[in-house]
Amino acid sequence: MKTILIPTDFSPASLNCIPNLCAQFHKEQLNFVFVHLFKVSDSINDLLMLSRRSREYDYISDDFYTKLRELKQEFSQLNLIKIEFFFGSTMVMFRNFIEENEVSHILQTQDCVYAPLNKSSVDPFNLTAKLGLPLVALIEVKKAVSDVASRRYAEINMAAEVY
């Protein structure tokens, strides 16, 4: 089972990677962690109430949730999709977040739909680049399907030659 971290701005377009990733890893169960990073506030009150915050969820549109439900119904290999907000800017904190969520792979920068949600948003790619986890690149789905079909065709031909 793979758990893929996807830095996002929670726009519906950020979910467009799911069909492609499901096609690439068609034989595996997948978990996705959609995350947006924020720097920690200097306010004592904000820090005390951090675990009770919910205002960040206002950034997630109903269209995002609707499309997410549709994708869960369409792809049976989707085991879990998490929506997370990370508060911090140090590697130690981020590494703890990665370990807690059992992330095994990260969607590469150019395949993510990411824009700052507010002035506290942090560029996730500075932190993800330093983790050393394998990057996943989106490939053209038609190419992936044709490559699998080509390999299968070659296997069948080789088996036919043996007989």
What's the pLDDT tens digit per position in 141-160? 554 444 544 454 455 444 44
Percent of the chain scored above 90 by pLDDT?
A: 53
**pLDDT value at position 58?**
83
Q: Both tokens of residue 94?
A: 């981020």
**pLDDT value at position 36?**
93
Q: Both tokens of residue 74?
A: 């369409």
Q: Both tokens of residue 44?
A: 């004592």
pLDDT(49) > 70: no
**pLDDT value at position 10?**
95
Domains within the chain, CATH numbers bracketed: 2-162 (3.40.50)
Give the model confidence (pLDDT) of 92-139 as tens digits: 999 999 999 999 999 998 888 899 998 888 888 888 888 889 999 998
**Element of type H or E holding 73:** helix 62-74
User: Residue 47 CB: number of other CB atoms within 10 A?
Assistant: 12
The model's pTM: 0.78
